[in-house]
């Protein structure tokens, strides 16, 4: 899900650029960076747990659902907040372009 919300925020930034709203475009870029940053931190926690397995191959997606739960709640909340903000910005960008 991490790439999805990075993409959503990037599309919002592009739509704000097309509409000439540079302030909201900048905000959408910051949100995209925040989504990517927090997703990376959560992935690092899961990778640390996965490395304890004997059959860990080192692949990016070689993480079990149990290991994915290793990320602390605080970073998950930050990621969720950034993701929701990116989605809201995309909706606002679409509304601005329509009207």
**pLDDT per position as a tens digit, 6-59:** 999 999 999 999 999 999 999 999 999 999 999 999 999 999 999 998 998 888
Distance of CA 63 to the CA centre of its chain: 18
Q: Quote the CA–CA distance of 73 and 5 in Å, as a whole number.
A: 19
Residues in contact with 62: Cβ distance below 8 Å, sequence separation at least 6, in sequence order: 50, 56
Instruction: Output the pTM of the full model.
Output: 0.89
Q: List the chain domain ranges.
A: 2-98
pLDDT tens track for 48-85:
999 998 998 888 788 888 998 999 999 999 999 999 99
Q: Quote the CA–CA distance of 32 and 14 in Å, as a whole number.
A: 12
Using N-to-C axis directions, what is the helix angle for 73-98 and 22-50, rounded to 10°? 150
CB atoms under 10 Å from CB of 38, counted, come to 23
């Amino acid at each position: 899900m991490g790439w999805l919300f990075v993409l959503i925020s990037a599309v919002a930034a592009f739509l704000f650029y097309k509409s000439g709203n540079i302030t909201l475009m900048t905000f959408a870029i910051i949100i995209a960076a925040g989504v990517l940053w927090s997703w990376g931190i959560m992935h690092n926690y899961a990778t640390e747990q996965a490395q304890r397995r004997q059959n860990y191959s080192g692949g990016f997606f070689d993480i079990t659902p149990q290991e994915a739960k290793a990320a602390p709640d605080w970073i998950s909340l930050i990621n969720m907040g950034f993701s929701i903000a990116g989605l809201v910005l995309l909706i606002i960008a679409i509304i601005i372009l329509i009207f």
